[in-house]
Amino acid sequence: MSEAVRRIGMIVPSSNTTMETEVPELLRLLAPSGERFTFHGARVRMLHVRQEDLVRMNADATRAMTELMDAPLDAVAFACLVAIMAMGDGHHRTAEAELAAIATQGGRATPVITSAGALVEELRLADARRIALVMPYADALACRVADYLQAEGFIVQDYVNLRVTDNAEVGRIPGERVLAALDGLNTSGVDRVVLSACVQMPSLGVLAEARRRLGVPVTSAAECTAMQILRRLAPPAAIPGQTAGLSLAEHG
């Protein structure tokens, strides 16, 4: 019996070096044996995590999606959380609909996931209402992310932002620095900690350690993206040992 092959498209910032590493690894860990994935990327220009760069990146996403649709893909993920959230509250729904419409023009109903929408959906599936965040952004964008999540009905109890604006540098933030940020984070009574509210800031290697230190559920934007990819495939991929909203970190 041949293995199933799922083809996953990703729209990523040109300077991103993390999603094409962490999502394949997460899917390998989360998906049932016998499922294989291939990954097909389209890049949109973004060097600095600033409002004007994020607006330009969003404008170029339709071009990237059109190019991806030349391949027979099973799902597409727009892998830049802050680019979506910077466009205003609830924008993940607009972006997902616009990108899905491009697939429809080609006669396909390819599911589209945004990392922003994936984080929102996985937190809801986990019944996580009160959350705390670690993110790399400068102050204004960090506030925007917190406001976005609060507009979705979550209580952002606290967040720590590392004030890194060079996106390539974000991808080089060491795990030790991410874990150190937890020392200044108020996690008392939270339902979930989002260790990296950014798909470029590496976190997969420290999720289990963060949960061990904190004693509360811990996830990341990248993990939520991988989970939503699995849920949105047709037919959905079974997730062994998982229930709705239960993260990989809880098994680490």
Q: Is 199 annotated as a binding residue?
A: yes
Q: Is 16 annotated as a binding residue?
A: yes
Q: Is 137 annotated as a binding residue?
A: yes
Active site residue 80: yes
142, 198, 201, 248: the active-site residue: 198
Write out the two tokens for 151: 């507009």
Q: Is 148 annotated as a binding residue?
A: no
Q: Is 112 annotated as a binding residue?
A: no
31, 80, 123, 132: the active-site residue: 80
Q: Is 55 annotated as a binding residue?
A: no
Active site residue 198: yes
Q: Is 167 annotated as a binding residue?
A: yes
Binding-site positions read: 16, 80-82, 137, 167, 199-200
Please give the positions annotated as active site: 80, 198
Binding-site positions for substrate read: 16, 80-82, 137, 167, 199-200
